[in-house]
Amino acid sequence: MVEDEGSVRVDSWIWSVRLAKTRALAAAACRAGHVRVNGERAKPAQALKPGDEVRVREEGYERVVVVKRLIRKRVGAGVAAECLVDNSPPRPPRELTPAAGVRDRGTGRPTKRDRRELDQLRRS
């Protein structure tokens, strides 16, 4: 269902164009401050209009898209791609992203000392 007039909720549109897996995750991202519309923090029920810039932050990467058309329902990937203009910078290579803490198999749970060392590594 493609709309040409009116407005659509931010969380619904993010879900419809496949920037979030579920509408609940899209609403949670809005409440957490990970979604900005035209530079301002967006609430889940904020109305979108064609031409608005939407920034969605996810795991150290920010998607920057411009609303081309409004849709309310989730549609196929081809139709969803026509509803936005993706201005996102390229993703950083996997080699540059920080690795998650990997433990050797069979070493058991981390001790208190191990947890402190991991926390110190994450902070620096």
Start-to-end Cα distance in the chain: 48
Cross-strand pairs, 41: 36
pLDDT tens digit sequence for 36-77 = 999 999 999 999 999 999 999 987 789 999 999 999 899 898
Model confidence pLDDT, tens digit, residues 77-108: 899 999 999 888 888 776 665 566 677 788 88
Burial of 35 (0-12, 13-18, 19+ CB in 10 A): buried
Are 41 and 56 in contact by the 8 Å Cβ rule? The answer is no
Is the distance from CB of 32 to CB of 20 less than 8 angstroms?
no
pLDDT of residue 104: 79
Predicted structure pTM score? 0.71
Give per-residue burial for 82-106: e unless 16+ CB within 10 Å, then b: ebbeeeeeeeeeeeeeeeeeeeeee
